[in-house]
Structure 1
Amino acid sequence: MQRLIIALPGNEAFADQLAAACGAERGHLETRRFPDGESYVRLHSDVAGRAVDLVCTLARPDEQLAMLLFTADCARELGATEVNLVAPYLAYMRQDQRFNPGEAVSSLTFARVLSAHFDALLTVDPHLHRYPALSSLYTIPTATLHSAPLLADWIAANVERPLVVGPDGESEQWASAIASRIGAPCAVLRKTRHGDREVEIEQTDLGGYRDHTPVLVDDIASSGRTLLVAARQMLAQGLRRPECVVVHALLADEAHAALRQAFARVTSTDAVAHPSNRIALAPLFAQALLEGRRDPAA
């Protein structure tokens, strides 16, 4: 029996592509909000005896979580054999320890909630900073997908003589993998963060790459401050106007506008719906679903 792909509101385009890529049926979900703000969910597709994959990128999780959990429980109560979460962007990975006394470690709480309602979780490039793997906090099987090959192929096809640039030490291995795949040089900057919106990047001499096009690659762009500081540093050294390629574009309109002024082009995957989307992830997720791919056990 075909898989059933169901989109939470705002995820319809991604779900359509995913269903087409893996030969699955697209289910229909009715949602609305009552006058007091509570969520209403109704499944219009027969889920009994079927594997159900709910598509919901979690860029704004607080607005979506109740509706997502209601849908998952409803599918299970109506007889779905399994209920999986396809979350191209996985939220609440930032607060992975108690940095100050009394803080909530929200990544653990969020993981417990999702683990209690789904049979498996599929996501791409989660922000694993202090966790070695998703299995460190999720108790259900997970599939951690990687977009670096897709980013590398897009850069090779669209940028002349690229210089792949990672904005900080965390990005070194990732940026190197992208550069290696397309035979491009790679440089990694050194960043110091002084707050949510204040960053400092150590001066790095890139003057030897003036005949290349710098391509800043990053997993997440939210305020865009790191990318802006890096772009201005490269322009000050006489390099070509850089390109920006990110996985998760969490950019508000004003942040996107600022980046567009600094970069020749801003490009992202469609993990989060955004005007900069140019790299499709549905084939990556479809392959993982069809193969039943899961991360190795910890």
Structure 2
Amino acid sequence: MTVVVKIGGARAVDPEGALADVSNLVEEGEDVVLTHGGSTAVDETLEDLGQEPTYVETPGGVVGRFTDEDTMDVFKMVMPGTLNTDLVESLQNEGVNAVGLSGLDGKLLEGKRKSAVRVKEDGKKKIKRGDHSGKIESVNAELLETLLSGGYTPVASVPMLGAEKDGGYTAVNADADRAAAAIAGALRADLVLLTDVSGIYEDPDDESTRIDSASTPEAFESVKQAAEGFMTKKVMAAEEALDGGAASVVVATANADEPISGALSGEGTTLEPGVLADDEEVEQ
């Protein structure tokens, strides 16, 4: 079994339990690919440099980061730099022979750059130019499989390699949950999205309303309706992962002693390939 784990970048997420759990899983012979977010760290670094993080709302109501050139420079410094290196260091101390990768390394994560995005401002739809973002269209699964077969544990992060219209490449931002989803799909792996809550709740303010599982399109519709705020992107990523070939997706808390093992045992919201409509289902 291969497990792709994404550790959220929110301030309330403590990665310590997940890193120890990665060590346990690797010792048991499981293949693990670790991915991570870092929006909070990027925002804090921007503010330290006297810059304001910019977030925009799409016409569909999804809020995301607008990554201009200066923000992209900070992004490259923080994500594959400080955060990725810290996780690799921690895993080495846990006895895990980890290898840090950005999406650019070996064309791990590749797609087209979007230099302009559609946004909604003051109730009006506009085009905002100068963005450095993209949607992942391909994953170099062979690179990850080579590392795993050699006994290494990949620690992967965005940015991704963005193809420009002139045929060149540039580093661009991509959503970390959707990057994890793309990797899980390419590896036909189980995906565990670790965050600061124990799953997806019917009432976002009431943990007792957690949805334990969904395995039909009807049940998944209930999950999508329940998701609000940051959870909306995780549900979107879950759907993309399953559509791409992932074995399952679990949204669960990182703040537990064995959060990955617990998630795979049902401690979270588990989504299975059956949630896709028949015309969307992917052959496993």
TM-score by length of 1: 0.28
Higher strand share: 2
Q: Which has the larger radius of gyration?
A: 1
Higher relative contact order (CA 8 A, sep 6+): 2
TM-score by length of 2: 0.29
